[in-house]
Amino acid sequence: MAGENGNSLLELNELLEATGGVHVLGSGRFYFDSVQTDSRAVEKNTLFVPLIGEKQDGHAYIPQAVEKGAGAVIISFKNFEKDGSLFSEISRKNPDVYFIAVENTLTALQKAAGRYVEKFPDLIKIGITGSSGKTTTKEIAAALLRQKYTVITNKGNLNSETGLPLSVFNIRKEHQVGIFEMGMNRENEIGEISAVLKPRLGIITNIGTAHIGCLGSRENIAREKAKVFDHFYGIGTGFIPKNDDFAGFLAEQVDGHVVYYGEGCDENIKFSADLGLDGTEFYVCGKKAVLKLPGRYNYNNALAAVALAEHLGLSAEQIVKGFESLGGMFGRSEVIRGKYTVIRDCYNANPDSMEKALEFIGSVSGSFGKILVLGDMLELGKDSFHEHEKTGEEAVFCGASLIVFAGTEMKAAYEKAVKTAAEKKIDVKLEYVEGCSDAAMESIARLVKASACAGDIILVKGSRGMGLERAVSIILGETE
């Protein structure tokens, strides 16, 4: 496909049919071999899709996209009618660039992506969603399945209404398995992107409180996550965490086969030992495997991946080899050893993952000290104050000598921690750093280094928007 045998990802008639678009400008050969919504990433023969957000309209960047080599551009009818002379002038200077007008550019991107996926009827399509653990589960599953199949995944966490459609345009004819995580920030986002991929295998990691601010309740979250099963039509398989309290509800949403996973669900899998920071040891059909990511919550993610691998015919030897091949994942329970042992877990944070991280750090014992850096958990809506207070209360019981709360929302956690520590007579130093500026990161690092001793464990956790990896870099940069 894309670039193979000189074919366009989609032919003009396919794109028009999928999007309901109209070819308004451009002539010559229609061709594109990549898709972008960011004009800065446009290359020669890119299809550029400008999106309209609350603060800016991507149509403003069409001249730059064309200058960088875009072969085709999707535009909205409204913008075309408003600025027709501008587009005509761009087309006059660049007659080979095709302009396709549509009602809604985001919807058009999704429809076009869905049409592209249909070109690969033999692809084993897997969707992964849940309140936390999506990316970790995806990466583990990919490492396992690569022992038998040629696998494609979405990079990083490109799992949104735009990220997933952009990701599927990277599918090629050599791929046998596609593993795509699905995230959400609003109602029916999972439904929309599920309609793009139409997965026949779906994994739900858990039902927590992430995004409860926009959906209102865990019941609504479960209903939304279950849309990963929407396109099973009696022949798909849903992988459901047996120990989740919404397991029964989720199973009812599966029009197809249900596989439960979790500790005690699979007689072929035997837990052996919690290795602390070194991960979890377990056996697959009597063969030893080690998950190198710390925490029992990551072990549960691994069990989801194992259940999927077994379903797709991998042997115990292939599964064990897959775990051996699994490297660290930037910012996700990533253990960095040096003068200090830093757990860099700053790619995502919500009440569920924060609670699990604090439980884990509280369970680790030794002659070393513990320091926590906890950043804002974003997108919690009206529950934000309560959930941050809860985090502050839980944090003081982890055995840390220093806890640095950082951000805006974490002020509530800091104040609750101060109160709890005083009431329970817990000896812990508590600090609050406002905001997430570079100066704030420097303050965090300064506080940590002033208290840390060689061999100490430092947990750094917060939402991606906090950018706490900057503080980690400062800490590590002066210890190498």
Number of domains in the chain: 3
* One-letter identity of residue 261: Y
Does residue 285 belong to any structural domain of this protein? yes
- The per-residue pLDDT string of the chain (480 residues; one tens digit each, 9 = 90 and over) reads 444 557 999 999 999 999 999 999 999 999 999 999 999 999 999 999 999 988 889 999 999 999 999 999 999 999 999 999 999 999 999 999 999 999 999 999 999 999 999 999 999 999 999 988 898 999 999 999 999 999 999 987 688 899 999 999 999 999 999 999 998 878 899 999 999 999 999 999 999 876 666 677 889 999 999 999 999 999 999 999 999 999 999 999 999 999 999 999 999 999 999 998 899 999 999 999 999 998 888 999 999 999 999 999 999 999 999 999 997 666 678 899 999 999 999 888 889 889 999 999 999 888 899 999 999 998 787 889 999 999 999 999 999 999 999 999 999 999 999 999 999 999 999 999 999 999 999 999 999 999 999 999 999 999 999 999 999 999 998 544
Distance (Å, whole) CA 416 – CA 410: 10
Q: Do the beta carbons of residue 410 and residue 432 sit within 8 Å? A: yes
Q: Do the beta carbons of residue 132 and residue 211 sit within 8 Å? A: no
Distance (Å, whole) CA 384 – CA 382: 6
Q: Which among 110, 133, 168 is the end of a domain? A: 110
Shared domain check, 289 and 417: no
Q: Which among 82, 110, 138 is the end of a domain? A: 110
Report the relative pairing of strands 370-375 and 457-461 from DSSP bridges.
parallel
Shared domain check, 461 and 402: yes
Does residue 353 belong to any structural domain of this protein? yes
Q: Which residues of 92-116 are buried (b: 16+ CB within 10 A; e: fewer)?
A: eebeebbbbbbebbbebbbbbbbbb
Q: Which among 59, 86, 110 is the end of a domain? A: 110
Q: What does the block give as tokens for 344?
A: 């860099």
CATH code of 357's domain:
3.90.190.20
Shared domain check, 280 and 350: no
Does residue 115 belong to any structural domain of this protein? no
Q: Which of 141, 131, 156, 146 is nearest to 332 (CA)?
A: 156
CATH code of 76's domain:
3.40.1390.10
Shared domain check, 307 and 203: yes
CATH code of 228's domain:
3.40.1190.10
Cβ neighbour number for residue 290 with a 10 Å cutoff: 17
Shared domain check, 88 and 151: no
Shared domain check, 339 and 313: no
Cα(first)–Cα(last) distance of the chain, in Å? 46
Binding-site residue numbers for ATP are 130-136
Binding-site residue numbers are 130-136
Q: Do the beta carbons of residue 368 and residue 401 sit within 8 Å? A: no
Shared domain check, 245 and 166: yes
